[in-house]
A and B are shown apart, each in its own frame.
Chain A
Amino acid sequence: MRRRTFLTGAAATAAVAGSGSLLSACGSSAGSGVPRLDFLSLAWQTESVKANKALVAQWNQRHPEVQVRYVQGSWDDVHDQLLTSFEGGAAPDIIHDEGIDLTDFGFGGYLADLTDLLPAGLKSRIPQATWDTARFNGGVYGVPFLQEPRVLIANRTLLVKAGVRLPDDTHPWTWQEFEDICRELSHHGGGSAERYGTAWPMSSPVSVTLNLSLTTGGRILYKDEGSGHTEVRFGTADSAFAEMVRRQVRTDRSAPSSALALGGGDVLPGFFAGRYAMLPLDFSYRQQIQQQAPKNFDWVTLPLPVGTHAPDGGRAQGVSPQTLSVAKSCKHQQAAVEFIDFMTQTPHLVQLAQGDWMPPTGTAALRDPSLTTTKLGWSTGMALASHLTASPALGSRGYPEWSDKIATPALQQYYSGAIGLDSLRGKLVRDGNRVFERYRE
Chain B
Amino acid sequence: MSATDAAGVTAAPAPPASAGAGRRKARRRAGRAGQYLALLCYVVFLAFPLLWLVSTAFKSPQELGSVHPTWLPKHPTLDNFRTAFDEQPLLHAALNSLMVAGISAVVSVAIAVPAAYVMVRFRSLVSRAGTGWILVSQMFPLVLIIIPLFMVLKNLHLVDSRLGLGLVYVVWTLPFALWMLQGYVKAVPVSLEEAAAIDGCSRARTLRSVVLPLLTPGLVATLMFSFVTAWNEFFFGLVLLKSPEKQTMSVILTHFLGAEGAADLGPLAAASVLATLPSLLFFALLQRRLVGGMMTGAVKG
Contacts and interface: CB of A to CB of B under 8 A. Distances in A.
B194 interface: no
Interface in A274-305: 275, 285, 288, 291-295
A291 B260 CA distance: 18
B143 A288 contact: no
Interface string B76-98: 00000001000100000000000
A108 interface: no
A1 B261 CA distance: 10
A291 B144 CA distance: 42
Contacts of A42: 259
Interface string A153-191: 000000000000000000000000000000000000000
B128 to A, nearest CB: 32
A192 to B, nearest CB: 10
A35 interface: no
Contacts of A216: none
A1 B260 CA distance: 6
Contacts of B68: 273
B227 to A, nearest CB: 24
Interface size class of B (residues with CB under 8 A): 35 or more
A72 B264 contact: no
A264 B261 CA distance: 8
A46 B83 contact: yes
B260 A263 contact: yes
Contact of B147 (A3, A18, A25, A270): A18
Nearest to A92: B242
B256 interface: yes
Contacts of A88: 147, 150-151, 154, 159
A72 B67 CA distance: 32
Given A21-B154, A49-B87, A81-B238, A272 B66 contact: yes
A45 B264 contact: yes
A85 interface: yes
A70 to B, nearest CB: 7
B261 A288 contact: no
B147 A44 contact: no
A2 B154 contact: no
Interface in A356-375: none
Contacts of A288: 262
Contacts, number: 122
Nearest to A10: B143
A231 interface: no
A411 B65 CA distance: 29
B274 to A, nearest CB: 18
Interface in B151-176: 151, 154, 159-160
Contact of B254 (A1, A25, A77, A264): A77
A264 B260 contact: yes
Interface in B118-150: 141-144, 146-148, 150
Nearest to A44: B258
B193 to A, nearest CB: 46
B187 interface: no
A18 B154 CA distance: 12
Contacts of B263: 265
Contacts of A45: 258, 264
Contacts of B254: 74, 76-77
B180 to A, nearest CB: 27
A189 to B, nearest CB: 17
Contact of A203 (B61, B235, B239, B261): B261
A87 interface: yes
Given A21-B154, A88-B154, A272-B67, A7 B146 contact: yes
Interface string B235-251: 10011001110000000
Given A13-B147, A88-B150, A295-B62, 8 more contacts: A3-B260, A7-B143, A76-B254, A76-B259, A87-B151, A204-B260, A272-B65, A275-B67
12 contacts: A1-B259, A1-B260, A9-B143, A46-B87, A49-B87, A71-B242, A81-B239, A88-B151, A203-B261, A268-B65, A272-B65, A293-B62
